[in-house]
Structure 1
Amino acid sequence: MASPGGNLYREVVEDGQVRVDNSQSSFGSLSQVDDTVRDLLLHPNEIGRCRENPLTEKGKRIQLAKMLLLILVPILSLAVLAGIDLHNIALNNRLNVEVRNVIRFSRDIGVLLSCLQRERDMVALFVSAISPEQDSFVTATFPQTDEALDELQDWPVKTYVLTELPYFRKKEDFKEYLADHRRNLHRSNTTVYNEIDFYTDILQIFIDWLYDSIGNSNGHGLWQTLVSYQLLIVSNVDIGIARTLGSIFFARGRFYSFDDYVWYLSKNDVGTWNFEASKRYSPLINSFYAELVTTMDENFVTTITNLRQEILNNAVDGLQPNFEAATRWFDSMTVYINILESMQSKMADEILLRLESDLDNDTSSIAVSICLVIIVIVTCPLILRAFWSLTTDIQNYALNLASQTKALNKQRKKSNWLLYSLLPKSLAADLMLKRPAAPSHYDDVTVLFCDLEGLGYICSQSSPNEVVEMMNGLYLVFDSCIDRYDVHNVETLSGTFMLASGVPNRNGTKHVTEIGGLALDIVHHINLLEVPHKPLCGFKVRIGFHTGPVVAGVVGLDIPRFCLFGDTVITASRLQTGGCAGRIHVSQASYMALLKEGGFYLMKRKDTKIGKDTKGSSIDTYWLVSRDDFKTHSTSPPYMCQYQEHKYTYEHMYVKTYTGRIQYRHGINDRLWKHPNFTYL
């Protein structure tokens, strides 16, 4: 094909050959355009599931939703983790508070047990044979026990206890019961064993509460310390009973019965074992014990060990009553029990200190977790807003890039059209691919010159707008005819066209038939035209063509042009200028080539010859009349001037309005105009 005629072109390289395709835009040569945007523009309908074109509003929303979903997943995960962590810390804090309350209650129980044990021992001493004359040592323990009872916050008595011990229903009932027992206390109405049994039954109830309290605490990381604390309290109670029974042994010289001896051994051994076991569960026992023992003035441990051995050696045979030994035993065991009570108090304080530290840590952790949750809650919408803005900016940038790409492509179309208008497609493709366009010699081509007779006079009688409108219509007709043949429009100057076939693409011997068919087609269509602003005023065209060798090449650096050089060009121009309006002037060489191809009707021109050729001989010329299979390519004359045809072909040149118009004549014979006033210029 010759002139691009306004079509869109794209360069494709296949097997080393350049092929020009007019089906797509020239995105392949726009290296500045992003590949993704280019692909979206070229393939806007290749969309998968949940994948819309991001250059559309719907696609923009989908892309934005996907990006927000991606950022929401880690943010929500962080929020959930922070919430779970806060819940766990709060739960742990609540457990610590419960454990602290339990431990505090256990400590209060331990203090109460120590007070009751001391009261029991003093009462037993009061009714024993080694009792001092004054009873102040007994009554001095009563306020301490009452104070320990008042400090007790809970009263977790069980139902089965109330059936046997109804005075345990309330703390006030128990205090009244204990006060009544104290009021009735006298050496004459009770014995040591009765008092031991009375207080031991009470102590056992509180020991059960201690076991239940520590068991309900679930350990919570302090189970070893709690078990050690529990064993220490129970050991203190058992050692207190052993102190009382040992005092009786030394005061009387023997036990009342063998059961008393077994009872003493049981309490002494169990108390000692519990104390040793408490050391194994917590290293604090050893440190507290060593600290307290070193502060004592006398070695009470040796005294206790010797007196225990004396009880074991003489339990069966007995001894003489020894009030001095009984006093030493009681005093030494009292020192030992006081040490156990001090250790018990220190252990309780240590446990509470650890719990307070854990609570402080939990409070700090809760504060940190709350701050983290607040930060997540506050930053989440900020991050989403930032991503929304960022995504919107990116999509706006993509839309702007797409818009600029379309504008660039439109400009590219114009530049391509201009380049293809100046150069043949193959040469234009070589130049666009930065390949050298070397000049070539062509042995056999056909060159045609064509002009409109009287065009200058018409232009002189018309306004500029009318001239431009008329010429646009004429060029449309010429370009439409040229597009149907293997002919290249080499040059157009004013109303003169220089056309060639067989160059730059060699087509064998078809070049002469292509030019001949085109010449007949042009004459046919031009004869149907009239000047739009001058009714009944038509056009006549003069055509001349010659066949021969030429040299062709691209000339010009700033504005490249495809030019033909040689006698063939000169001869064709002389044939055109020496021809007649409405007729096709053919040289001898073209005549012979057409005869060889066949199908064309020519007649020799007899009136004159065109000068001489370069060898000095005259040139015989001929008129091309018609051909056998000649058919016009438009079914009706107005077809060539329809707006949609022009809009499609020259859309890149005329964006808003169509300024080319040619008036076709209807209902007239193609060969003879019968209107009396019809004239040719």
Structure 2
Amino acid sequence: MLWALLVLAVSWLVPDVVQGRYQPTWASLDTRPLPQWYDEAKFGIFLHWGVYSVPSFGDAWFWKQWHDGDPAHVNFMKRNFRPGFTYADFAPKFTAEFFDPAQWAKLFKAAGAKYVVLTTKHHEGFTLWPSKYAWNWNAKDVGPRRDLVQDLADAVRNNTDIHFGVYHSLFEFFNPFWLSDQASNFTQVTFPAAKTIPELYELVRRYRPDVIWSDGSIEATNSDYWGSKEFIAWLYNDSPIKDRVVVNDRWGKDAGCAHGDFITCRDHYNPGVLQKRKWENCLTVDRGSWGFRRDVSLSDIRSTEELTAELVETVSCGGNLLLNVGPTHDGRIVPIFEERLRQMGEWLGINGEAIYSSRPWVHQNDSSTPGVWYTQRDSYVYVLLLKWPTDRSLKLGSLRLKPSVGKLTLLGGSKNNLKWIQKPGEKLLIRLPPLEQVTSRWAWVIRAENAVASKGRRHYLAPIIESDTMSTRSRKSFSTTSITESQYSFEMYRGCTFNPNTRQGRRFYVVQMLVLHFIPVMALIVQNCYILGSAIYRQRQMIRLTRTIEETTDVGLLLASMQTERSEMAYHVFGINVSGTWNAEDGFAVYDREHSLRQVFDRTDLALDKLVDWSAIAGEAGLQWQDRMFASKGRFQTYLGDIRRMALEGRTPSRSEMLWYNRTTALLLRVLVRHISDRKLSSGDVSSPFLAYINIMRAVEHLGLLLTLGLRYLSAGTSPLLVTQTALSDTLFWEYIGNTRTFASGIADDMSDILEEGDGMGTFMVVRDGIINDVPRASLNVSATEFFHNNSRLLNRLQQVQLQLKENIESLTSDEVLVSKRQQMWTAGLLGFVVILSLIGILMTRKAATEMEIFTESLAAKTAEMRRERRRADRLLCQMLPSSVALQLKSMHKVSAESFQAVTVLFSDIVDFSSIAAQSTPIQVMAFLNRLFKTFDNRIDRFDVYKVEAVETVYMCASGLPHKNGDRHVTEVADLALELLATSRRFEVPHLPDHPLHIRLGINTGPCVAGIHGERVIDRLLKNLSQ
């Protein structure tokens, strides 16, 4: 009977329930579910910034410690500041001139943070926004002269997807209102109403933060003194951020480590085990201070290994890490702090899937190996290692893999699965790759597929099975789905690694569609790019070859001229003074020595004039001989002119001067060979002609040497040195001739004709054999003049072959450049065509994917709305009926009547209600009753009493049901009755303030049976409420 009456009583509470309003009590506020974004964020950045950043000595409590006479702070002020200097004098020096909020926001994004909390006001009372409750003690009136909170909030929201939050200190060190309340032992409540609460409302309305991080609930102050519960109730019910805001637990002594959306308990709080509530570990990079310190040492800075370990341990136990850095007074985040943040971002960039949106696993850390922690996300379990095994073998005692389907993947390592061994009854043994093959540093993550806990519990059911050690709020923060839905989702998405119901999953699905459909297109694009690159490289190589030939032309011309001049000078030096006749038949003709020498000299001078760049010759000469004679073209021409004048005047140059010609030709030949070799030419079509060109130049040089040696022999006879030089030059000449034939097969026949026809080669062979075999020159029957002219013709013919090879190379390179250009044009055209088709295909695929994403988002929104409505209906049902009865009804079980041996029931009624109703309109009557019964409801929360119904003017409640409480039901109801009487005396009828309110109370104790009659009353009522 009582349960049926309870259904009718709920009608009075429908407006409040529908609106989901929270009362200013911890019991009511703690029922609010934790916003999902905060549970998934895992990592945030804390910023302690204020006037204390100016002295940057000690901690953010600098003012307090200096005021209290701390010796270190007092001595610091004496050493660095004038007498009479006050803390307020620091404020103008808090300039923030280098503060770049956009740069800060990008740094926080690079660090992998999902939310940032700024100290808008610390205990010193200085506000970083232009608060009207902090006149001349805020960042707008003094110091930076700007709204620092607005600047950072805008930068974070415009440049990143990071949530913006604010830190706010409840108390202030030396605020007169605070000191006055403190002196009264907080019986006086002035400071919260005049300062704290107005500032909090101002922050919310101006900046709409997603996090409100309160601090400073010191001494004997509790939440009643601060008015915290009323402010949080407004946050949850009526504020513009009611759906996403989260608050911590520092709202009074009674709230710490017990209430709020998440608990912090104390600074650097890291319990190391799974907690009943969502919690946060606020940690500072500088061990010694929350704010910036100028005297910080490197040993005071936490290493990246420490920070990574804190993040891993915190997330594995269900917490978030809020990492603090302190900016400087001029608005900089110093490099060591920036380095730590970027390194955290580097680690999260590789291993973030084990952190973000993860949940604690069945086991938080491994039972066998220290330094191994676990998280889970979707269908994966993540193994987080804080220390890399030296033998690359990892043993796990808390995790097992399903045979044949279990997989292990090292994030940041090879895409190949890790090797593992698991025998029945033994630990899981994993073989890790060499550490140098892994990109991750500081900590490492292994992703496990098809894994179970060592006791056989499936990991993907872990967050759904609610442990008795988890509070209601913890359960709501970790999962709101049923076991059936979770199993369904797991089966539905078993074949893929993402959930298309999530935003991230839909994006991954779009990327997957684009990648899979355009892999062949990308392969064709890559192939064309490779062909185009090869053609461009080929063309550049041919241009290099052409440029090399052009650069060696002038030096080659000078080399040929000097070789000819050397032959003429040798003919003159070795006593060949012929003045008779010489015709074609008998081999004699008139020889004009001076005329012949001048012709040769003119050709050499012409070659010298064409050669503009002498640096290569000077460099080669300095490298070989340190000879200053070749240091410049002028010096060379001067020395050459001296030798020529000697010959023209009839004097005979010395042997050393003749050897100078050999040095000159050898030098020029080395310059040519080095220039070509430095280009590292490797083109198949032109490398052989180039080698033939080099070898023919060397052959011509040695033929010239043999001509000079032969003339010396015919003039003065043989000698051991002459024999050695002739044998060496002859051997090299024929070797280079053979190489030329090999590398230039097209001119092999021409070479054979040159070396076999005429008397040139014959006289050459006769003289060579005479030198080597020590034959007297008189017995050879070969004149020096004949030998000179025949071998000069042979030398000229070989030089013509050299010129022909050069022309062949130029022709080949020109053809290659033309072919490369054509290939580039065709390849570029084909590549452009493929790219255009690819873009069209991408746009079409993107359009289809977008339509699919819109449909999926709509479906997801409808599903989420359905779940909200279902939770709302469940919440209504639990408020209408006891939880045990509501669960039975929800499970479609039969609800049996329940007997109670002793129950105390209280009835209340309004005296002379008809008189009040006669003076009121129906709307005024309803408003009056609603307000009265809401007041009664607030009082009933303080007692172990269950409200049964409120029908018309009757208010009915009972104690001893639905939970039996022994004999306390009598005293609980009696205390409640006294409280209701006292409340009614103070109650004022809104529209009849002069009309006193009196109520009648009746109490009865005895046995009772409670149950539900009928089957469709509740179902019909829920249906009506949802419409």
Report the TM-score when normalising by structure 2: 0.37
Superposition pairs of residues 153-302 of structure 1, within 5 angstroms: 153-154=612-613, 169=634, 184=648, 201-211=660-670, 219-221=678-680, 225=691, 228=695, 231-245=698-712, 249=714, 256-259=716-719, 263=722, 265-278=723-736, 287=745, 290-296=748-754, 298-299=756-757
Superposition pairs of residues 293-372 of structure 1, within 5 angstroms: 293-296=751-754, 298-299=756-757, 303=762, 307-308=766-767, 311=770, 315-317=774-776, 319=778, 322=781, 329=787, 333-346=791-804
Q: Is this contact kept in 1: 2:906–2:1001, CA < 8 A?
A: no
Q: Is this contact kept in 2: 1:448–1:500, CA < 8 A?
A: yes
After superposition, the Cα gap between the structure-2 partners of 1:152 and 1:360, relative to the gap in structure 1 and judged at 3 Å, is farther
Structure 2 letter corresponding to 1:148 = A
- Aligned counterpart, 1:650: none
Selected match of 1:438 from 872, 895, 904: 895
Selected match of 1:27 from 24, 28, 33: 33
Displacement after TM superposition at 1:442 (Å) = 0.9
Counterparts of 2:1018 and 2:47 in 1: how far apart (Å)? 44
Selected match of 1:424 from 862, 882, 890: 882
Counterparts of 2:751 and 2:875 in 1: how far apart (Å)? 112
Displacement after TM superposition at 1:493 (Å) = 1.4
Counterparts of 2:780 and 2:1007 in 1: how far apart (Å)? 161
Structure 1 letter corresponding to 2:1011 = A
After superposition, the Cα gap between the structure-2 partners of 1:63 and 1:461, relative to the gap in structure 1 and judged at 3 Å, is closer
Counterparts of 1:44 and 1:164 in 2: how far apart (Å)? 75
Superposition pairs of residues 86-101 of structure 1, within 5 angstroms: none
Displacement after TM superposition at 1:153 (Å) = 2.8
Selected match of 1:133 from 589, 605, 611: 589
- Aligned counterpart, 1:495: 953
Q: Is this contact kept in 2: 1:307–1:329, CA < 8 A?
A: no
Deviations 1:3-29 (A, max 9, x none): 99979899xxxxxxxxx974534437x
- Aligned counterpart, 2:928: 470
Selected match of 1:452 from 905, 910, 913: 910
Displacement after TM superposition at 1:116 (Å) = 1.4
Displacement after TM superposition at 1:285 (Å) = 5.9
Deviations 1:365-396 (A, max 9, x none): xxxxxxxxxxxxxxxxxxxxxxxxxxxxxxxx
Structure 1 letter corresponding to 2:935 = V
Selected match of 1:110 from 550, 559, 567: 559
Deviations 1:642-669 (A, max 9, x none): xxxxxxxxxxxxxxxxxxxxxxxxxxxx
Deviations 1:467-503 (A, max 9, x none): 2442233113322343233222222211122323333
After superposition, the Cα gap between the structure-2 partners of 1:284 and 1:514, relative to the gap in structure 1 and judged at 3 Å, is same
Identity across aligned pairs (percent)?
17
Query: Residue 504 in 1 paired to residue 962 in 2?
Result: yes
Q: Secondary structure at the residue paired with 1:133? A: coil
Q: Secondary structure at the residue paired with 1:473? A: helix
C-alpha RMSD of the superposition: 6.0
Q: Secondary structure at the residue paired with 1:438? A: coil
5+ unaligned residues in a row in structure 2: which ranges? Answer: 1-5, 49-107, 118-152, 163-337, 350-540, 583-587, 683-689, 823-861, 1022-1027
Q: Is this contact kept in 1: 2:905–2:956, CA < 8 A?
A: yes
Counterparts of 2:884 and 2:45 in 1: how far apart (Å)? 32
Q: Secondary structure at the residue paired with 2:678? A: coil
Displacement after TM superposition at 1:112 (Å) = 1.8
Deviations 1:25-44 (A, max 9, x none): 4437xxxx7x4444559x98
Displacement after TM superposition at 1:358 (Å) = 12
- Aligned counterpart, 1:584: none
Q: Secondary structure at the residue paired with 2:955? A: strand
After superposition, the Cα gap between the structure-2 partners of 1:470 and 1:273, relative to the gap in structure 1 and judged at 3 Å, is same
Counterparts of 1:127 and 1:310 in 2: how far apart (Å)? 25
After superposition, the Cα gap between the structure-2 partners of 1:63 and 1:351, relative to the gap in structure 1 and judged at 3 Å, is farther
Counterparts of 1:101 and 1:362 in 2: how far apart (Å)? 20
Deviations 1:285-333 (A, max 9, x none): 664772422344954697357624762598455545736x777755653
Displacement after TM superposition at 1:111 (Å) = 1.9
After superposition, the Cα gap between the structure-2 partners of 1:306 and 1:234, relative to the gap in structure 1 and judged at 3 Å, is closer
Deviations 1:161-198 (A, max 9, x none): 9999999846775786677567x47xxx57xx769986
Q: Is this contact kept in 1: 2:754–2:794, CA < 8 A?
A: no
Structure 2 letter corresponding to 1:552 = G
- Aligned counterpart, 1:480: 938
Q: Which moved more, 1:455-464 or 1:303-312?
A: 303-312
Counterparts of 1:284 and 1:234 in 2: how far apart (Å)? 19
After superposition, the Cα gap between the structure-2 partners of 1:513 and 1:315, relative to the gap in structure 1 and judged at 3 Å, is closer
Q: Is this contact kept in 1: 2:665–2:701, CA < 8 A?
A: no
Deviations 1:223-243 (A, max 9, x none): 995974663353132122145
Selected match of 1:53 from 112, 115, 118: 115
Counterparts of 2:951 and 2:800 in 1: how far apart (Å)? 124
Counterparts of 2:958 and 2:626 in 1: how far apart (Å)? 127
Counterparts of 1:166 and 1:532 in 2: how far apart (Å)? 115
Selected match of 1:150 from 590, 597, 609: 609
After superposition, the Cα gap between the structure-2 partners of 1:244 and 1:558, relative to the gap in structure 1 and judged at 3 Å, is farther
- Aligned counterpart, 2:1000: 541
Report the TM-score when normalising by structure 1: 0.52
Displacement after TM superposition at 1:541 (Å) = 1.8
Q: Is this contact kept in 2: 1:110–1:233, CA < 8 A?
A: no
Counterparts of 1:526 and 1:549 in 2: how far apart (Å)? 29
- Aligned counterpart, 1:621: none
Q: Which moved more, 1:542-551 or 1:157-166?
A: 157-166
Q: Is this contact kept in 1: 2:905–2:959, CA < 8 A?
A: yes
After superposition, the Cα gap between the structure-2 partners of 1:505 and 1:201, relative to the gap in structure 1 and judged at 3 Å, is closer
Q: Secondary structure at the residue paired with 1:240? A: helix
Determine which structure has greater relative contact order: mean sequence separation of CA pairs < 8 Å that are 6+ residues apart, divided by chain length: 1
Q: Is this contact kept in 2: 1:448–1:515, CA < 8 A?
A: yes
Superposition pairs of residues 580-595 of structure 1, within 5 angstroms: none
Counterparts of 1:446 and 1:530 in 2: how far apart (Å)? 29
Displacement after TM superposition at 1:529 (Å) = 4.4
Q: Is this contact kept in 1: 2:579–2:591, CA < 8 A?
A: no
5+ unaligned residues in a row in structure 1: which ranges? Answer: 11-19, 74-91, 250-254, 365-403, 563-681
After superposition, the Cα gap between the structure-2 partners of 1:553 and 1:26, relative to the gap in structure 1 and judged at 3 Å, is farther
Structure 2 letter corresponding to 1:106 = V
Displacement after TM superposition at 1:507 (Å) = 2.9
From the two aligned structures, give the one with the greater helix fraction. 1
Q: Is this contact kept in 2: 1:431–1:437, CA < 8 A?
A: yes
Q: Secondary structure at the residue paired with 2:1012? A: strand
Counterparts of 2:1008 and 2:628 in 1: how far apart (Å)? 138
Q: How many residues align?
A: 472
